[in-house]
Structure 1
Amino acid sequence: MKAYIFPGQGAQFTGMGMDLYESSAKAKDLFTHANEVLGFDITKIMFEGTADELKETNVTQPAIFLHSTILAEVMGNSFAPDMVAGHSLGEISALTANRTIAFTDGLKLVHTRALAMQKACEIEPSTMAAVLGLEDHIVEDICKNTGGVVVAANYNCPGQLVISGDVRAIDAACEALKQAGARRALVLPVGGAFHSPLMEPAREELAAAIENTQFTEPACPIYQNVTATAVTNPSEIRKNLISQLTAPVKWTQSVQNMIANGATHFIEVGPGNVLQGLVKKIDRDANTSKAEV
């Protein structure tokens, strides 16, 4: 069974999507439409922008969404998933690719999400940190016993967990994690505490947009970040997507459940190959590849 997986923020690069634009009339139409929907020339930034320009949240999130969903669209009948999943932002790409959300609606949701997250980041100084070499329960216990807001945010693979919270709590937790034997506890260059309670203002704003978006029966199950289980019910998908901004990304658990349910081949759709690497760390015998037209 084929599992198609969609990357999140951090996979962007200058020139992303240009090959699709130049080789496919359908892709060119979708990119042009995206510029109109967003009200700015995102394709120019994707194809020619600097790394700093691409790092702007209001650019990064729609850029990765566009690269992933337009690639899936251009693949045509060769895009034939038995199941899908997306890491954080990638969940909206996955929902668009499996026909739960229309392309334009997905793009509008991603743009709303990006702007809402940016606003939430400005309310309180907050960040994230990657923790390597400790079991999940140890990281969770240290977060619980650290003052301030600090939580497990991304369960990326065994021995790699990202924590999220206010700056002082993250710094304190990192010190405690190193003392507990973490190989690394490294603050990441991000401007906010994604997938933590500090994203509550963004969750409320995104919830309103999601409630006003049509969700239909998907072409195949999606393994959502919040539950790590296969979901096909549109109202359940909507509820989980609203919860996602303040809840952890259960990527390890999602991949494990997809394998348990028959996934034999993981195909990454979009920029980069981070997810293929994580899948291999979760199960070294998993077959992974990159989606191509």
Structure 2
Amino acid sequence: MKHAYVFPGQGAQFTGMGKSFYDNDPRAKELFEKANDILGFRISDIMFTGSEEDLKQTKVTQPAVFLHSVIGFLCLNNPRPDMTAGHSLGEFSALVANGAIAFEDALRLVSIRANAMQKACELVPSTMAVVLGLDDAKVEEACAAITDDVVVPANYNCPGQLVISGTKTGIARAMEILKAAGAKRVMELAVGGAFHSPLMAPAQEELKAAIEATAFNTPHCPVYQNVVAKAVTDPAEIKQNLITQLTGAVRWTQCVQAMIADGAARFTEVGPGKVLQGLIAKIDKTAVTDGISTGTEEVVK
């Protein structure tokens, strides 16, 4: 039975995240202080006591979720993943967990990614929307029908749940088309912009330079990357897929299906919340899921 470790992305943050790690484990405290130094501000204070609004700032959100996930993993008692994967931002956590990249380097890249995405969001009015209860093919068809605006499938979360991304005007039109096509629900998301779409191209250029200048190692086990939904171990390919991910779709459904096909029977989510556990259960009811989201290795069912 293979054991997969999976890591959540942006949106899982909450006030108080990571505090139990900091209070209960000297290793965690050391890593948080190192992170504060690298980022140039005390992100730990914002994570532990900041408001919901404070945590929504992109420059805070992405490093915060990354830190909660990675510090949680590094403080486990000798975890031995057979494979790793992360949802969007979570892919950086997955790459620390399998040894492909050092903690400090990954945190720097996450910070660069967050700030570059924020700048890209400010260039064009853009947004995302979740589509529930419609086949992926019908959602793809609706996006393709809008040829004079940017609208693309962005997150294949689980069967019957696909997030689309694009300009404000494009998403508004797509929402009407999808409702008419029979979607159970179509709802705009409270996000800063069109993540995982061509509108992130300016951020992609900035991140590409940083990734290419960073050392990546051959990982201890495969990572199932969002844009290809298959096992990857080659450092050059891992780098390219991370760069492509900013403008490409997160194929989470396909990643989980590929991991199961390759022998994964247990999935442990490490990081804030239980979103991925819920998605995995919808992708395959036979998969065993659990999660670690506190500083005391409490298993969340």
The answer for the alignment partner of 1:80 in structure 2 is 80
- Identity across the alignment (%): 62
What secondary structure is seen at the aligned counterpart in 1 of 2:156?
Answer: strand
Number of paired residues? Answer: 292
Q: Which amino acid aligns with 1:92?
A: F
What secondary structure is seen at the aligned counterpart in 2 of 1:76?
Answer: coil
Q: Normalised by the size of structure 1, how large is the TM-score? A: 0.99
- Structure 2 distance, partners of 1:72, 1:159, is 30
- Structure 2 distance, partners of 1:164, 1:137, is 16
The answer to whether the aligner puts 1:148 opposite 2:149 as a matched pair is yes
The answer for the alignment partner of 1:239 in structure 2 is 240
Q: Which amino acid aligns with 1:122?
A: E
The answer for the alignment partner of 2:214 in structure 1 is 213
Q: Which amino acid aligns with 1:261?
A: D
Q: Hey, which bits of structure 1, 4+ residues long, moved more than 4 A?
A: none
The answer to whether the aligner puts 1:133 opposite 2:133 as a matched pair is yes
Map of 1:124-203 to 2, 5 A cutoff? 124-146=124-146, 147-203=148-204
The answer to whether the aligner puts 1:57 opposite 2:55 as a matched pair is no
Q: Normalised by the size of structure 2, how large is the TM-score? A: 0.96
What secondary structure is seen at the aligned counterpart in 2 of 1:63?
Answer: helix
Shift of 1:244: 0.3
The answer for the alignment partner of 2:104 in structure 1 is 104
Shift of 1:97: 1.3
RMSD over aligned Cα atoms: 0.7
What secondary structure is seen at the aligned counterpart in 2 of 1:4?
Answer: strand
The answer for the alignment partner of 1:260 in structure 2 is 261
Give deviations 1:60-80, integer Å, cap 9, x for gaps.
Answer: 000000001111111031x11
The answer for the alignment partner of 1:92 in structure 2 is 92
What secondary structure is seen at the aligned counterpart in 2 of 1:105?
Answer: helix
- Structure 2 distance, partners of 1:17, 1:277, is 21
What secondary structure is seen at the aligned counterpart in 2 of 1:123?
Answer: coil
The answer for the alignment partner of 1:273 in structure 2 is 274
Q: Which amino acid aligns with 1:116?
A: A
Shift of 1:161: 0.1
The answer for the alignment partner of 2:24 in structure 1 is 23
